[in-house]
Structure 1
Amino acid sequence: MNSSSSKPKEQFVHSVFQSIAPKYDIMNDILSFRRHKAWRKFTMAKMNMSQGNSALDLCCGTCDWTISMAKASGGHITGLDFSENMLQVGRRKVQDSKLDQTITLVQGNAMELPFEDNMFDYATIGFGLRNVPDLYQVLREMKRVVKPGGMVVCLELSKPTWQPFKGIYYFYFQKVLPLLGKLFAKRYEQYKWLPESLAQFPGREELKQTFSEIGLTHVEAYPLTGGIAALHIGTKE
């Protein structure tokens, strides 16, 4: 996708997250059937961070995963997001957790990371890859900034493949979720964006192939809760 065609998507996604930031955590519970914390716990177990490990958390949003990693490793964790409103919510959480000295939050673009090569032990992105203009570019950037032997980790909503769950889930996503967004966050149009973004996003096996195509090795893909989410992990040689 070229930069001119990606601009409208970038601007719209930015406006969505700027507007829903205060209600984002509540809506995450609704969106994931309250499973997102369990998915993150599973992901952290697979990452198996060591003491002192560093990480870059892209599209860090309100910083739940950023904080989990800081607590797990005690190393320096950097969170990056393009929405200042989301970061404001995240900053309060970081301060409440007394992790100001361990976590640095940066407003920036996941497509052009403001970091040198080979800086981090992990680069993570949680529920953000489907919203970027070019997921190949973001994954290449994540690979660039991790050290050799470091991991690129993506936790994201995915596409269930078995019926009847698949039919129920798509009905929920396309019909029910936007109404819940209207009810809880007064944001019908913004939550209508979520099923549209997922429809265009690659399935679990496709994304696994993408990890391999950009040169990551030992690529693992795990379906979560019947495939409504997926964890992908790849290692930089």
Structure 2
Amino acid sequence: MMDQEEKHERVHHVFQKIYKKYDAMNSLISFNRHKSWRRQADQIVSAKQGDKVIDVCCGTGDWTLSLAEAVGPQGRVVGLDFSDNMLKIAQAKLEASQLENVTLVNGDAMELPYEDESFDRATIGFGLRNVPDYLTVLKEINRVLRPGGTLVCLETSQTKIPVYRQLYFIYFRLIMPLLGKLFAGSYKEYAWLNESAAKFPDQKKLTQLFLDAHFENILVRSLMGGIAAIHRGTKPLDDKSATVDRK
């Protein structure tokens, strides 16, 4: 089994290489559904004017900029990623947007460079499956959230529908790496993204990880038959029991 340091180095190499065509490939391999999924996630985030938000594993910054528009000039959004090449794309988008309430940070999701209770909301989109340890990152996000703050995670998942499940894994295992080779010259990198998706916890297991990281009021929204999902958790105001809401 790959250890944490090895996974960190491998994932860093992947995103340092695929950054130039990352956005185009996301649209291609998801049939452009990732944009609709993020809009649904935005609704669940429910960012308000003046909020302070951290977008962990922000990649090329699309969700970061969307959140910045939602919180307005009085709010603040931090986009954090460990790939400086991905952040270069995000920086170019930021400059084109003329938004002034965004800070892009080259940092590690496993050890967020912020004090406890620094943010009102947090997001992580298609990044949790690539970190060395899922629970460590969820606990770190919980730490930097204020009591009552929310985390929204948009991520691939494991569909349970017969036949559809088999087709999904054939697509991810065989077709997606070929698309990566044809359109981005990156077969091995997209083969890794398939591997990371295949090993990622299903909705039930990820819900338990949210609970283990001390989130409560867990909401789960399955997307496109379960091939992706949105999980939302709230940092408790006190020690009351956690609940799960499935939609």
Q: Considering the TM-score relative to the shorter chain, is it more than 0.5?
A: yes
Q: Distance in 2 between matches of 1:125 and 1:46?
A: 13
Alignment pair present for 1:122 and 2:121: yes
Which aligned pairs between 1:1-237 and structure 2 lie closer than 5 A?
5-74=3-72, 75-99=75-99, 101-237=100-236
Q: Distance in 2 between matches of 1:183 and 1:209?
A: 38
Residue 3 of structure 2: SS of its match in structure 1? helix
Q: Distance in 2 between matches of 1:55 and 1:106?
A: 13
Residue 221 of structure 1: SS of its match in structure 2? strand
Using structure 2 for the length normalisation, give the TM-score: 0.92
Q: Distance in 2 between matches of 1:66 and 1:149?
A: 21
Q: What fraction of aligned residue pairs are identical, expressed as a percent?
A: 50
Which range moves more in the overlay, 128-137 or 32-41?
A: 32-41
Residue 60 of structure 1: SS of its match in structure 2? coil
Any gaps of 5 or more consecutive residues in structure 2?
A: 237-247
Residue 226 of structure 1: SS of its match in structure 2? helix
Could you list the per-position Cα deviations for residues 94-138 of structure 1 after superposition, in whole angstroms to 9, with x for gaps in the alignment? 111111x21000001000000000010111110000000001000
Q: Distance in 1 between matches of 2:181 and 2:32?
A: 19
2:199 partner amino acid: Q
| Distance apart, 1:51 and its partner CA | 1.0
| Distance apart, 1:162 and its partner CA | 0.3
Contact 2:135 2:212 in 1 (8 A): no
The alignment's C-alpha RMSD in Å is 1.2
Could you list the per-position Cα deviations for residues 42-93 of structure 1 after superposition, in whole angstroms to 9, with x for gaps in the alignment? 1111121211111000110000000010011111000000000000000000
| Distance apart, 1:28 and its partner CA | 0.7
Q: Distance in 1 between matches of 2:206 and 2:51?
A: 26
| Distance apart, 1:214 and its partner CA | 1.6
Any gaps of 5 or more consecutive residues in structure 1?
A: none
Contact 1:205 1:221 in 2 (8 A): no
Residue 116 of structure 2: SS of its match in structure 1? coil
2:88 partner amino acid: Q
| Distance apart, 1:5 and its partner CA | 2.3
Could you list the per-position Cα deviations for residues 184-236 of structure 1 after superposition, in whole angstroms to 9, with x for gaps in the alignment? 11000000001111121100111011111221110111101111110000000
Q: Distance in 2 between matches of 1:176 and 1:62?
A: 24
| Distance apart, 1:152 and its partner CA | 1.2
Using structure 1 for the length normalisation, give the TM-score: 0.96
Could you list the per-position Cα deviations for residues 5-24 of structure 1 after superposition, in whole angstroms to 9, with x for gaps in the alignment? 21111001000000000000
